């Protein structure tokens, strides 16, 4: 697997397509931080770290509104073949403010709103709405 974050997003989208209540993802600190931001922005219900013998996983409880997934689109922006870095002046709103972007800054992962507020640029990980 060349891009574990894209794999995480695909697992979430595929689970929502068949209305699964939860999805399990192999653990990494970056994926866990992304999941915490998704939970804070109310795109998912809750996250839990699980440990089965040796392997650690992240259990994500998905959120639905009348069988419609809370996440309409979850899109990887900066890929392993082409990294996208933006200064604070070029960080835009996603879908006119209805969506969010996750940006990796020098102060850690944060949403596009937080990055503009803290006047920090960085690598755009993903966009969701």
Domain at 62, CATH number: 3.30.1370.30
Q: What distance in Å separates the CA atoms of residue 121 and residue 112, rounded to the nearest whole number? A: 9
Residue 37, burial from CB neighbour count under 10 angstroms (0-12, 13-18, 19+)? buried
Q: What distance in Å separates the CA atoms of residue 53 and residue 36, rounded to the nearest whole number? A: 24
Helix, strand, or coil (residue 105)? strand
- pLDDT at site 35: 97
Q: Phi and psi at residue 93, in whole multiples of 5°? A: -80, 150
Domain housing 43: 4-69
Of 84, 81, 76, nearest in space to 123 by CA:
84
- pLDDT at site 31: 97
* Residue 40 and residue 22 share a domain: yes
* Residue 87 and residue 43 share a domain: no
* Residue 63 and residue 14 share a domain: yes
Q: Extract the tokens encoding 49.
A: 């770290």
Give me the residues of the chain with pLDDT under 50, please: none
- pLDDT at site 52: 83
- pLDDT at site 9: 97
* Residue 78 and residue 56 share a domain: no
* Residue 86 and residue 58 share a domain: no
Digit-coded pLDDT (tens) for 58-81: 999 999 999 999 999 999 999 989
Q: What distance in Å separates the CA atoms of residue 34 and residue 57, rounded to the nearest whole number? A: 14
Q: Tally the domains of the chain.
A: 2
pTM, to two decimals: 0.93
Query: How is residue 72 annotated by DSSP?
Result: S
């Amino acid at each position: 697997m060349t891009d574990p974050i894209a794999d995480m997003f695909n697992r979430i989208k595929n689970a929502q397509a068949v209305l699964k209540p939860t999805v399990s993802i192999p653990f990494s600190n970056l994926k866990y931080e992304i999941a915490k931001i998704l939970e804070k922005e109310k795109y998912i219900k809750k996250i839990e770290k699980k440990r089965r013998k040796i392997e650690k996983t992240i259990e994500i409880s998905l959120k639905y509104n009348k069988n419609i997934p809370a996440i309409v689109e979850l899109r990887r922006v900066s890929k392993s073949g082409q990294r996208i870095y933006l200064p604070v002046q070029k960080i835009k709103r996603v879908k006119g403010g209805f969506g969010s972007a996750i940006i990796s800054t020098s102060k850690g992962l944060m949403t596009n709103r937080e990055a503009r507020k803290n006047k920090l640029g960085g690598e755009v990980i993903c966009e969701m709405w």
